[in-house]
Every structure is written in C-alpha cells, then in structure tokens.
Structure 1
Amino acid sequence: MLTEADVACWLLKSSGRPAELPDGPAAGAVVLSRCLRRSYRLGLLRVGQPCVLWVSGRVDPGVAAVGRIASHVREEGGGPAVDVELTALADVVPRAELLLDPAVGSAEVLRMPAGSNPSHLRPREWAALSRRL
C-alpha cells in the first residue's frame, strides 16, 4: 500500500491525447477533468501535488503533459474524478526511452501498463523524469 512519502508525482492515464490539450507548451495550461478508479489512493491526492498525463496506446505512448492536481476528488458521472492543470510538452517523453532509464524503468506505469488511474511516480522516478523535462 502506498503512503504519501511514496508519491512524488501522480500519473494519470489517457487512452489518447485529450482533444482539449493544446499542442505544445506555448499554448499554456489547461484544466481537464480526469476519471479515477475508487481506491485508497484517492485519500492521498492533494491539491497542488505534481502530476503528469500519460498517453497510452500504440502511437507515441508516454508522458504528454505536466502539471498539478487542481481540485479535490469529487463524484462525477457515477465515479470519482479530479481536475488537473496541465501544460502540454513540446514532444512526448516516449515510453521506450523511459524503459531504458534505470531510475524510471521500474515505474508502476511501465511495470503494469493496464493499471488504473491514478498511478504514481516515486521520488527517484519523478526526479529522473523531471531532469528529462
């Protein structure tokens, strides 16, 4: 079970690039609502914590945006959701590149790609990804 100390950054997955996410950082930040799976992890989410958007799939999977948790968890459409403020990256940080980095290669999203939202990055993983950003 995760503790607050285990989570340096939340990772929220999307099956594709959200239409509301502009192209590139020059467009600025946008607030998106993301669906979550009900679990004990929701009690660890805090407004202001860092987060990244992971786009899965066969075309360009990886980290597509970076930002922060922008709201408390709420019920929306029959399940939990949270707002995130995200800025798109100029280029996706590719999954294949992250797999090769020993500091990030053990991240939950890479070990268990079918896991649910929210996932997380541990301090070592987030530090390595931050250097790449």
Structure 2
Amino acid sequence: MLKSAVLPDELAPGWRPGDAVGMVRCVRQSYRVDLVSPGDPVLLWCSGRVAPGVHAVGTVAGTHPAGPEVLVRWTRLTDPVPRGALLADPVAQRAEVLRMPAGSNPSWLSPAQWAAVRALTPSAGRT
C-alpha cells in the first residue's frame, strides 16, 4: 500500500474514476523497498480529513535503482473505500495504515487484510 496526503484529483489532474495512469511514487529507503517487485499489486491510500481511504488499485511497474521511488500503474476506483469501512471490517481494521497513519511508504497488508480490503473494492476488478 502506498500513501498520499492528497486526493487523486491533485495527484493527477483530470484523472477520472475508472481511468488508468502511470505515476512515480516516493518510498522510504528500507528493507520494505527490497520486497517490492514489478507486477506486485498495490493500493493507493489517501489520508487527511477529506475522504480518507483507498482511492486506487494498481500494479508496480518498476522500481528506480538510483532512488527510493516506484513506478505504479494505477486505476482510480469508481467508489473509493472509505476509512470507516475499513475500520468496520474485523480484519481490515488491523491494517498498519490505520494503526500507524503517519508511517512511511510503503505500508504493509497481511494476506488476510489484503483480501478484506479487496472485498471492499467492487469497482476495482480482481487484480
């Protein structure tokens, strides 16, 4: 899971629900970056007071060897998954992004948490 302090409209002006975009996202250089590989699935978590939650699903398209960045191919969700829906789910509510919202990118989901969040994203398909 990659986090953003801004909503999709600010990340990529003109990015509409259902549309796909490529985007470079900064990550903190740590052991977690070594666990990220092209083809890995990823979610975009938008934090803040306005509409916090999962706003896009995507796939890691590549990593930048010289810097702490990943290239992601995102598809914006038609219906974002609000933070409240994750808090209401007995598995998803234990996600790191909810327990430690100020944590760095990338954030981690267990396989059970991943399945719970994906079950809450019907407009995302099943990638």
Same fold by TM-score greater than 0.5? yes
How far apart, in 2, do the equivalents of 1:130 and 1:12 lie?
A: 15
The ranges of structure 1 where at least 4 consecutive aligned residues each deviate by more than 4 angstroms after the TM superposition are none
How far apart, in 2, do the equivalents of 1:90 and 1:123 lie?
A: 24
How far apart, in 2, do the equivalents of 1:21 and 1:130 lie?
A: 25
What per-residue deviation string (whole Å, max 9, x for no partner) do you get for residues 1-58 of structure 1?
A: xxxxxxxxxx000010212571201xx3111000011111111001000001000110
Matched residue, 1:8: none
Matched residue, 1:129: 117
Matched residue, 2:83: 95
SS class of match (2:94): coil
More strand by percentage: 1
Q: Is the 8 A contact 1:64 1:93 kept in 2?
A: yes
How far apart, in 2, do the equivalents of 1:30 and 1:85 lie?
A: 6
Residue 7 of structure 2 corresponds to residue 55 of structure 1: no
- Going from structure 1 to structure 2, the CA distance change for 1:86 and 1:69 (only over 3 Å counts) comes to same
CA RMSD, aligned part only? 1.3
Unaligned runs of 5+ in 1: 1-10
* Structure number with higher relative contact order (C-alpha < 8 Å, ≥ 6 residues apart): 1
TM-score, normalised via structure 1 length: 0.84
Q: Is the 8 A contact 1:49 1:68 kept in 2?
A: yes
How far apart, in 2, do the equivalents of 1:57 and 1:112 lie?
A: 13
How far apart, in 2, do the equivalents of 1:21 and 1:85 lie?
A: 16
Alignment of 1:33-112 (within 5 A): 33-75=24-66, 79-112=67-100
Question: How many residues end up aligned between the 2 structures?
Answer: 118
- Going from structure 1 to structure 2, the CA distance change for 1:50 and 1:20 (only over 3 Å counts) comes to farther
Matched residue, 2:125: none
Matched residue, 2:3: 13
